[in-house]
């Protein structure tokens, strides 16, 4: 039976990936330290569906090594475990470095030792491009220029993935520099996961703050589309580093997204405040997806922003009680 490890399996993307792999008949071993909000919510469901979950802090080299030794060879490793908020990366730089740079290095060393033939995919971020004062889609050759501790620590992880993928070390590695990913099962907060956070705030009647002018543009990528890409990359054992998002067809600014949420929920936000833009907040990020052709990747985002936000809001409405408990409101 095909077998995959998902690090960060109890987080938003990791739990959705684990569900998807299980549906496809793939054996899933999830590794997570359950440090992020709502991660324990996914544990029972994933175990019920047949995943094996191991609680482990992968930032400890010996623990990471021990857990990979216990699991043994697998067909793929999807590395999603991370400290994910830019704000936290300023407040606790050492933790951010440990849970991104060191953790990713530990995972690669463990893969090299215990499952060197596995396909290894790293969820990188558009934050590795830094401030990005551009108004055109960002393509394959745009330079790496991280800004913010999170951008740097994710870039370090990414560079190690590239290095371990070279012939001297010999793993098969790929990094996807992801734009804004959204969808059901995402418990967004003000610090991370802004589409989900605004949808939750509108549904629960909470005030929101817009940092900057609200005209920042992102190409939203619906979770199921991202997972399709993960699986396509795995199928083709694609190597390299690629910018990934919903592309120009799914680019939207924050204010327009707020209007969509209000319209769909049939209610206005309790209040909208404005504050200074936050460090590293790119005015514009849209991925140029034309690399797919040369890379022979047969994939395109299929979910429109309207359909995706609707699906996400349906999930939020159904799970209001659990979300309130997780966010302590």
Ligand X SMILES: NC(=O)c1ccc[n+]([C@@H]2O[C@H](COP(=O)([O-])OP(=O)(O)OC[C@H]3O[C@@H](n4cnc5c(N)ncnc54)[C@H](O)[C@@H]3O)[C@@H](O)[C@H]2O)c1
Give the β-pairing of 251-253 and 217-219.
antiparallel
Which range binds ligand X by CB under 6 A, 22-30, 107-115, 177-185, 273-281? 177-185
Q: Which of 129, 150, 160, 284 is catalytic?
A: 150
Residue placing its CB nearer to ligand X in the complex, 37 or 112: 37
104 binds ligand X, rule: CB under 6 A: no
Closest CB 96 distance from ligand X, rounded Å: 10
Query: Is residue 181 involved in binding ligand X (CB under 6 A)?
Result: yes
Q: How far is the CB of 107 from ligand X (least distance, A)?
A: 9
Our finding on whether 158 is near ligand X (CB under 6 A) is no
**Interaction of residue 319 with ligand X, rule CB under 6 A:** no
* Span from 31-39, 70-78, 134-142, 162-170 in contact with ligand X (CB under 6 A): 31-39
State which residue, 103 or 312, has the beta carbon closest to ligand X. 103
Binding ligand X by CB under 6 A: which of 125, 202, 203, 303? 125
Nearer to ligand X, 153 or 172 (CB): 153
CB of 135 vs ligand X, minimal distance in Å:
21
Is 147 an active-site residue? Answer: no
Candidate list 89, 178, 250, 319; residue touching ligand X; CB under 6 A:
178
* Rounded distance between C-alpha atoms, residue 295 and residue 233, angstroms: 10
Q: Kindly indicate which of the ranges 4-12, 208-216, 264-272, 294-302 contains the residues binding ligand X, using the contact rule CB under 6 A.
A: 4-12
**Part in contact with ligand X (CB under 6 A); list of ranges 8-16, 105-113, 249-257, 303-311:** 8-16
Of residues 4, 6, 20, 33, which one binds ligand X by CB under 6 A? 33
Q: Which of 53, 57, 71, 250 binds ligand X (CB under 6 A)?
A: 57
Residue 18, interface with ligand X (CB under 6 A)? no
Nearest approach in angstroms of CB 319 to ligand X is: 15
> In angstroms, rounded to a whole number, what is the distance separating the alpha carbons of residues 66 and 269?
48
Nearest to 178 by CA among 250, 132, 119, 123: 123
Q: Does 228 bind ligand X (CB under 6 A)?
A: no
Among 89, 106, 123, 148, binds ligand X (CB under 6 A): 123
User: What are the residues whose beta carbons fall under 8 Å from the beta carbon of 33, sequence distance 6 or more?
Assistant: 55, 56, 57, 58, 81
Provide the minimum distance between the beta carbon of 271 and ligand X in the complex, in angstroms, as a whole number.
25
Other Cβ atoms closer than 10 A to 264: 17
Kindly indicate which of the ranges 10-18, 135-143, 276-284, 318-326 contains the residues binding ligand X, using the contact rule CB under 6 A. Answer: 10-18
SS3 track for the chain: CCEEEEECCCCHHHHHHHHHHHHCCCEEEEEECCCCCCHHHHHHHHHHCCCEEEECCCCCHHHHHHHHHHHCCCCEEEECCCCCCHHHHHHCHHHHHHHHHHHHHHHHHHHHHHCCCCEEEEEEEHHHHCCCCCCCCECCCCCCCCCCHHHHHHHHHHHHHHHHCCCCCCCEEEEEEECCEECCCCCCECCECHHHHHHHHHHHCCCEEEECCCCCEEECEEHHHHHHHHHHHHHCCCCEEEEECCCHHHEEEHHHHHHHHHHHHCCCCCCEEEECCCCCCCCEECECCCHHHHHCCCCCCCCCHHHHHHHHHHHHHHCHHHHHHHHCC
Instruction: Please give the positions annotated as active site.
Output: 150
Which residues in this chain contact ligand X in the complex, by CB under 6 A? Answer: 8, 10-14, 32-36, 39, 57-59, 80-84, 99, 103, 123, 125, 154, 178, 180-181, 193
């Amino acid at each position: 039976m095909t077998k995959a490890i998902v690090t960060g399996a109890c987080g938003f993307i990791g739990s959705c990936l684990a569900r998807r792999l299980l549906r496809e008949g793939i054996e899933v071993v999830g590794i997570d330290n359950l440090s992020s909000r709502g991660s324990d919510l996914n544990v029972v469901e994933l175990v019920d569906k047949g995943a094996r979950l191991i609680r482990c802090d992968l930032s400890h080299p010996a623990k990471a090594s021990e857990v990979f030794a216990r699991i043994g060879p697998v067909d793929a490793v999807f590395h999603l475990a991370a400290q994910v908020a830019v704000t936290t990366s300023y407040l606790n730089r050492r933790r951010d470095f440990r849970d991104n740079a060191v953790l990713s290095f530990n995972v690669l060393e463990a893969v090299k030792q215990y499952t060197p033939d596995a396909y290894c995919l790293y969820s990188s971020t558009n934050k590795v491009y830094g401030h990005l004062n551009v108004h055109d889609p960002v393509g394959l050759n745009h330079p790496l220029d991280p800004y913010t501790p999170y951008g740097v620590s994710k870039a370090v992880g990414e560079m190690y993935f590239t290095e371990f993928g070279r012939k001297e070390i010999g793993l098969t590695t790929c990094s996807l520099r992801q734009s804004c990913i959204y969808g059901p099962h995402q418990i967004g907060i003000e610090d991370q996961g802004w589409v989900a956070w605004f949808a939750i705030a509108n549904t629960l009647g909470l005030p929101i703050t817009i940092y900057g002018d609200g005209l920042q543009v992102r190409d939203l990528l619906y979770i199921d589309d991202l997972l399709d890409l993960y699986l396509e990359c795995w199928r083709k054992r694609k190597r390299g580093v690629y910018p990934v998002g919903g592309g120009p067809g799914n680019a939207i600014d924050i204010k327009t997204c707020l209007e969509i949420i209000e319209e769909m929920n049939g209610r206005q936000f309790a209040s909208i405040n404005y504050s200074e833009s936050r460090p590293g907040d790119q005015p514009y990020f849209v991925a140029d997806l034309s690399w797919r052709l040369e890379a022979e990747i047969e994939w395109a985002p299929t979910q429109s922003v309207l359909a995706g936000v609707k699906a996400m809001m349906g999930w939020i409405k159904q799970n209001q009680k659990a979300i309130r408990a997780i966010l302590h409101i």
